[in-house]
DNA sequence: GTGAAAGCGCTAACAT
DNA sequence: ATGTTAGCGCTTTCAC
């Protein structure tokens, strides 16, 4: 084990005071060129790396951002994280990752940990952290960016895709073309998203004095959507089936085929959250390209803005990102 | 913004010294019950949360672990991360996430950041961090667990699946049953894995005085495996095709069908890294269930052991995890 | 331009 | 059982 070398060691080696070393590592302008060199040599020679913890204490900031996501959601979150990290890197921020689990106890623990760790900010993805919990966070003066939900408040910004409008616009055309038998498949893992989709559909129907009813709920006793849908489609058929995730869409595809429903001729299918797997299915599944990566990148960019106390207005509190419909073979 | 309340504030509020407060928050046994209560009340009243940064400085440890993964690999890494985090939570460790990119510059920056942040340990997933870079890390006395590669050294442990043996055992049976026309599809994103698979296959062939030759390399000018394979299978056919990832397997499935090769009758297909998507494809793709989650959980458990200076022998330096073959419809 | 010293919030001897 | 004090490694005023 090599001795932890500190700023004092460098100072001694370079024959200057620690203040000067500090100035050098922080790129202060006032240091004379030759002493800067002297110090830099010493740093090099000793292999000195400033202790970020000590810096954090002295500066009252950690240059780290906490990121909170629901557990096991990496399939949908991967690109978001990449976006976050890429931008975080640019600004030299570290990311600590926290996951929430079903148990309600967990989340308050997470908040506790986050506060204790004195992160500079926290990014929350689409999570059930309720208002009160988020309030706890802001109460401790930490800036928050929420991804996936339209929330904003003092010290809270949000970046999201408007799924309600997305599906409203899309389903409306179907409805008005007489294809009014529209169904939405439940997604237990993403209740919040499904709620938005449902609202969008209800709006379409309501505007025509009609009521949206084909919400396909997967009964608890079925382990997977696939198993239930296999039964379901034996006695049901729709003009259009909407799912949130690719795996649900593939379940529809497979079960429909197995009971002899032809897609897209007899029934159309669209998956809201597009993925590469949609393109690999046969027939290829239509979907909406959601800007995952950008959700992350934009969020982190906003976070960095929030963190500069000067630019109190260089950013929007609510940022809506748009999607692109990608028609493939399951829609006509 | 609420004033940052510190241990001094609590001490004053409770009319004790800060040492006593420190004892209370650290669960020291020696504190008298009534003063403990007094302190706890003060803590509650003031909403005090110990500053983990200051604790880190004083204790010379951060209770955080760095995790390094190749960028954009969350599809394969998600469960590993969940495993890591779940165990990390138990031991109150935080996880900072670092991603490496293609550019060689990046990795040394990451090492720099990791060292500066004084994490207690680092977990590296299957990354190209070369020996030298890893040496830099150990040189700073930080324990390392490598996931996915069999490496071990002083202060380095590894947790992995032996893909070479996996494919050796599997392909051997084919070979010895006369199905010697075996092919392996390149995976640009996972060169290290493919190398292992290749070695396994080469071993099978070598043992029979034969040479493994059917390594299907995707030429650079093709954007995707799919595009190339579509051409490839027009003039090629194998007894068995092996891919690493689900998406590659689906590409084989789709292209084979498109040129009229029937799977599994004319050609069999196996995907090493199984995923739920393999079960959604039609025909369903056979694969090996790799214990992703356990790779993470076990790694973190080992890390915690390494972190206890006493138990220098409570763990293995190399831990091999096993896989389970899941036969589906693409193999006979 | 550089150094001395106080302070960031906490822990851990050492006293009492 | 509790208080006092010296660090942990760094930044930043304030002198010089």
The tens digit of pLDDT for each residue in B227-256 reads 999 999 999 999 999 999 999 999 999 999
As a whole number of angstroms, the distance between CA A272 and CA A275 comes to 9
As a whole number of angstroms, the distance between CA B314 and CA A143 comes to 42
pLDDT reported for residue B1: 46
Buried b / exposed e across A184-203, counting CB within 10 Å, b at 16+?
bbbbebbeebbebbbbbbbb
User: Measured between alpha carbons, how far is residue A264 from residues A167, A254, A327, A332 in Å?
Assistant: 19, 13, 12, 7
Using the predicted structure, report yes or no on whether residue B311 has a pLDDT greater than 80: no
pLDDT reported for residue B2: 59
A chain contacts of residue B248, beta-carbon cutoff 8 Å: none
pLDDT reported for residue A153: 86
Average pLDDT score over chain A: 93
pLDDT band of A26, cuts 50, 70, 90: very high
Search chain A and give the residue with CA nearest B78. A74
Mean pLDDT confidence for A266-291: 96
As a whole number of angstroms, the distance between CA A173 and CA A153 comes to 35
As a whole number of angstroms, the distance between CA A269 and CA A168 comes to 16
Give A96's strand partners.
Answer: A66, B96
Task: List B residues 112-141 in contact with A (Cβ-Cβ < 8 A).
Answer: 112-113, 115-118, 139-141
Partner residue opposite B247 with nearest CB, options A2, A62, A276: A276
Asked if B214 and B191 touch (Cβ cutoff 8 Å), the reply is: no
* pLDDT tens-place string over residues B69-91: 987 678 778 899 999 999 999 99
- Whether CB of B22 is under 7 Å from strand C: the answer is yes
Asked if B244 and B197 touch (Cβ cutoff 8 Å), the reply is: yes
Domains annotated for chain A, with CATH where assigned, are: 7-50 (1.10.260.40), 64-161+292-323 (3.40.50.2300), 163-289 (3.40.50.2300)
pLDDT band of A105, cuts 50, 70, 90: low
Mean pLDDT confidence for A36-60: 96
In the numeric block, which tokens belong to residue A26? 């922080």
Task: List B residues 189-248 in contact with A (Cβ-Cβ < 8 A).
Answer: 226, 247
As a whole number of angstroms, the distance between CA A216 and CA A197 comes to 13
As a whole number of angstroms, the distance between CA B281 and CA B246 comes to 10
Question: What strand order describes the sheet that includes A240-243?
Answer: A215-216, A182-185, A240-243, A268-273, A286-289, A324-326
Using the predicted structure, report yes or no on whether residue A312 has a pLDDT greater than 70: no
Using the predicted structure, report yes or no on whether residue B15 has a pLDDT greater than 60: yes
Report whether the peptide linkage leading into residue A264 is cis, meaning its omega lies within 30 degrees of zero. Answer: yes
pLDDT reported for residue B26: 94
How many CB atoms within 10 Å of residue B282? 16
At residue A86, the 3 state secondary structure works out as helix
In the numeric block, which tokens belong to residue B286? 């056979």
pLDDT reported for residue A162: 96
Beta strand A324-326 with A286-289 is antiparallel
pLDDT reported for residue A1: 45
pLDDT reported for residue A135: 82
Indicate the helix (H) or strand (E) that contains B116: helix B104-116
- Whether CB of A17 is under 7 Å from strand C: the answer is yes
As a whole number of angstroms, the distance between CA A105 and CA A113 comes to 13
Q: How many residues does chain B have?
A: 332
At B180, phi and psi to the nearest 5?
Answer: -95, -5
- Whether CB of B58 is under 7 Å from strand C: the answer is yes
> Which residues, including other chains, have CB under 8 Å from residue A254's CB and lie 6 or more apart?
A226, B280, B282
In the numeric block, which tokens belong to residue B272? 């090493």
As a whole number of angstroms, the distance between CA A140 and CA A161 comes to 28
As a whole number of angstroms, the distance between CA B24 and CA B132 comes to 44
pTM (whole model) above 0.85: yes
Buried b / exposed e across B94-132, counting CB within 10 Å, b at 16+?
bbbbbbbbeeeeebeebbebbbbbbbbbbbbbbbebeee
B chain contacts of residue A92, beta-carbon cutoff 8 Å: 113
B194-CA/C9-C1' distance, Å: 50
* pLDDT tens-place string over residues A132-180: 888 888 888 899 999 988 888 888 999 999 999 999 999 999 999 999 9
Q: Which of B246, B248, B286 is nearest to B270 (CA)?
A: B286
Asked if B69 and B99 touch (Cβ cutoff 8 Å), the reply is: yes
At residue B173, the 3 state secondary structure works out as helix
Asked if B33 and B20 touch (Cβ cutoff 8 Å), the reply is: no
Report the nucleotide nearest the CA of residue A58, measured to C1': C8
At residue A33, the 3 state secondary structure works out as helix
Using the predicted structure, report yes or no on whether residue B154 has a pLDDT greater than 50: yes
As a whole number of angstroms, the distance between CA A123 and CA A83 comes to 12
């Amino acid at each position: 084990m090599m001795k932890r070398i500190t700023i004092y060691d460098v100072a001694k080696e370079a024959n200057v005071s620690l203040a000067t070393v500090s100035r050098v590592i922080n790129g202060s302008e006032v240091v004379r060129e030759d002493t800067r060199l002297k110090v830099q040599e010493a740093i090099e020679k000793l292999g000195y790396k400033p202790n970020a913890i000590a810096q954090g204490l002295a500066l009252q900031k950690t240059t780290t951002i906490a990121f909170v996501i629901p557990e096991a959601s990496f399939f949908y979150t991967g690109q978001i994280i990449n976006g976050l990290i890429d931008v975080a890197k640019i600004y030299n921020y570290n990311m600590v990752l926290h996951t929430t689990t079903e148990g309600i106890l967990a989340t308050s623990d997470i908040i506790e940990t986050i506060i204790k760790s004195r992160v500079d900010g926290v990014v929350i993805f689409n999570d059930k952290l309720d208002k009160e919990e988020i309030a706890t966070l802001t109460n401790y003066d930490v800036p928050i960016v929420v991804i996936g939900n339209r929330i904003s408040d003092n010290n809270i910004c949000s970046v999201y895709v408007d799924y309600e409008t997305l599906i409203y616009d899309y389903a409306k055309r179907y409805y008005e073309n007489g294809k009014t038998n529209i169904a939405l498949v439940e997604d237990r893992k993403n209740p919040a998203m499904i709620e938005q989709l449902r609202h969008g559909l209800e709006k379409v129907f309501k505007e025509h004095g009609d009521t949206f009813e084909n919400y396909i709920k997967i009964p608890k006793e079925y382990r997977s959507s696939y198993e239930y849908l296999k039964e379901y489609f034996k006695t049901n058929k729709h003009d259009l089936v909407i799912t949130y995730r690719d795996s649900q869409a593939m379940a529809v595809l497979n079960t429909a085929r197995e009971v002899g429903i032809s897609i897209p001729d007899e029934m159309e299918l669209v998956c809201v959250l597009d993925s590469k797997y949609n393109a690999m299915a046969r027939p290829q599944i239509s979907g909406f390209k959601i800007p995952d990566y950008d959700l992350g990148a934009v969020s982190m960019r906003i976070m960095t803005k929030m963190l500069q106390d000067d630019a109190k207005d260089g950013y929007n509190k609510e940022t809506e990102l748009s999607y692109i419909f990608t028609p493939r073979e399951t829609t006509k």
